[in-house]
Copies of this chain bind each other. A is one copy, B any other.
Amino acid sequence: MGKNLTERAEDYSKWYNELVVKADLAENSGVRGCMVIKPYGYAIWEKMQAALDAMFKETGHENAYFPLFIPKSFLSREASHVEGFAKECAVVTHYRLKNAEDGSGLIVDPEAKLEEELIVRPTSETIIWDTYRRWIQSYRDLPLLINQWANVVRWEMRTRLFLRTTEFLWQEGHTAHATEDEAVKEAELIMNVYAEFAENYMAMPVIKGTKTESERFAGAIETYCIEALMQDGKALQAGTSHFLGQNFAKAFDVKFATKEGTQEYVWATSWGVSTRLVGALIMTHSDDNGLVLPPKLAPIQVVIVPIYKGPEQLEAIGEKVNPLIKELRAKGISVKYDDRDTHKPGFKFNEYELKGVPVRLAIGQRDLDDGTLEVARRDTMEKETIPMTAVVEKIEFLLEDIQKHIYEKAATFRDSHITAVDSYAEFKEVLENKGGFISAHWDGTTATEDRIKEETKATIRCIPIDSKNEPGTCMLTGKPSLRRVLFAKAY
């Protein structure tokens, strides 16, 4: 196809890295571990943001903005949180540069040392709960349902575009509640919002579940998650929602007066999804020809490529196409008309296949004569010639059908890659040869989980929400287990 893209079967990881760059989604920057999100990649993220933001607002949340910097002492307040986050982070120690006296250039001014170092936020629980102490006095101030769109920094040693970068973009919700029950319900609500977004917008089937203790967010009592399966059989954690109990309220002394006049600590949740979702989107649907994007998140839903010789033919095509573009845009469909004379149609076809544009129209002199045009869908690569009069209806059908079809394809793949096993030998065999999720009994201890991870690199992705009680015995230790959990190798 002339795209010079490594095939997935040959080297999935290489295919991914090449595709991100060739499809103009993102690239590495001059700063180690930090990516530049290019306009086409950012446009996908913007569409994700818009959909999520509307869902958060519909469920009663408001946006706000908290500082980028967190004083070092804040991080130490919540004991388990600091273990998880204070280690690999960007530390601001000075607030000024100056010209070196020897003329060698800019140096850090030693006189501008901060009394207390500032950490570039790896997540904002601490600075936000320090703020909530001022905002919450009474039960009338609750619940407090706040979300923030922000950049965060976690110093990663091994980075990959979108999947794991030192700086990334995300949203982080931080809510405060009067009761434990309400906070738990909020954490569950958001898990469901995330799942709905993943399935309805990203066309990515997910499994909802809770994390085991060792995989929980640092500072959480319970971590809810949505787990997706990539085409190479590895799992990807796509979003997490944490019930934090009263841990942060206690660490930052956030109490409220109840209706009855007593003082109680506030109950908390936090939850987030990030630009990692763009990586998940790519790995769920794309193929050896390039990106396959769900119509609901595609920056360009329809591209029209004129096939012409000379300005007269182009003008005649333009006259046919312009009213169509108008009509499509009036319906809220994003259309690009690519009449560049610097590139041949074949080049353009390749480019839009690489970029995953769901529907491509091509129109030439023959079509003008016959009152037709050619419609191609990106997911199946099927083409057909249809009458011009039928095109709007066809496009509306295709945008819905592609969204549905790629979801079903991904769901079929995922469903066929959940394997129940009952012995450790079988577990290792499936993990090695088939991949995907493996449903197995586990004795509930971190020791067993750790040993399985050490020996196989598989982790417990989640304890599925909808899993049935099914007594059994742990595949490794033979100890009793109440139900199966899902293992997988993961991104």
Contact = CB atoms under 8 A, between A and B. Distances in A.
Nearest to A152: B68
A97 B68 contact: no
Contact of A31 (B39, B67, B86, B96): B67
A62 B342 CA distance: 22
A95 interface: yes
Given A68-B167, A120-B120, A153-B68, A63 B87 contact: no
B90 A91 contact: no
B87 A34 contact: no
B90 A108 contact: no
Contacts of A93: 91-94, 108
Contact of A127 (B29, B46, B134): B29
Nearest to A27: B134
A75 interface: yes
A34 B68 contact: yes
Contacts of A76: 105-106
Contacts of A39: 62-64, 146
Contacts of A167: 67-69
A140 B43 contact: no
B88 A131 contact: no
Q: Give the size category of A's interface with B.
A: 35 or more
Given A95-B88, A105-B76, A36 B65 contact: yes
Contacts of A66: 29, 36
Given A90-B118, A92-B91, A82 B69 contact: no
A34 B91 contact: no
A201 interface: no
Contacts of A71: 30-31
Contact of A106 (B37, B63, B72, B106): B72
Interface in A249-263: none
Contacts of A127: 29-31
Contacts of A62: 39, 42-43
Contacts of A134: 27
A74 interface: yes
A88 to B, nearest CB: 6
Contacts of A43: 62-63
A155 interface: yes
B64 A38 contact: yes
Interface string A96-128: 111000000110100000000111100000010
Contacts of A155: 95-96
A420 interface: no
A151 interface: yes
A130 interface: yes
A65 B37 contact: yes
B29 A68 contact: no
Given A106-B75, A131-B29, A167-B67, A87 B97 contact: yes
Contact of A131 (B30, B96, B118, B153): B30
A117 B87 CA distance: 18
Contacts of A130: 29-30
Given A92-B90, A97-B87, A97-B91, A31 B70 contact: yes
Contacts of A29: 66-67, 127, 130-131
B87 A96 contact: yes
B120 A31 contact: no
A314 interface: no
A69 B152 CA distance: 12
Nearest to A155: B95
Interface string A146-166: 100011010100000000000
A69 B118 CA distance: 15
Interface in A20-34: 27, 29-31, 34
B69 A31 contact: yes
A342 B70 CA distance: 36
Contacts of A86: 97, 106
6 smallest CB-CB distances across A and B, nearest first, come from: A34-B67, A39-B62, A37-B65, A91-B94, A95-B155, A31-B67
Given A82-B106, A87-B96, A91-B97, 8 more contacts: A30-B74, A30-B127, A31-B69, A34-B67, A36-B64, A72-B97, A91-B92, A96-B155
9 contacts: A30-B74, A30-B131, A36-B131, A37-B64, A39-B63, A42-B63, A68-B151, A75-B97, A140-B342
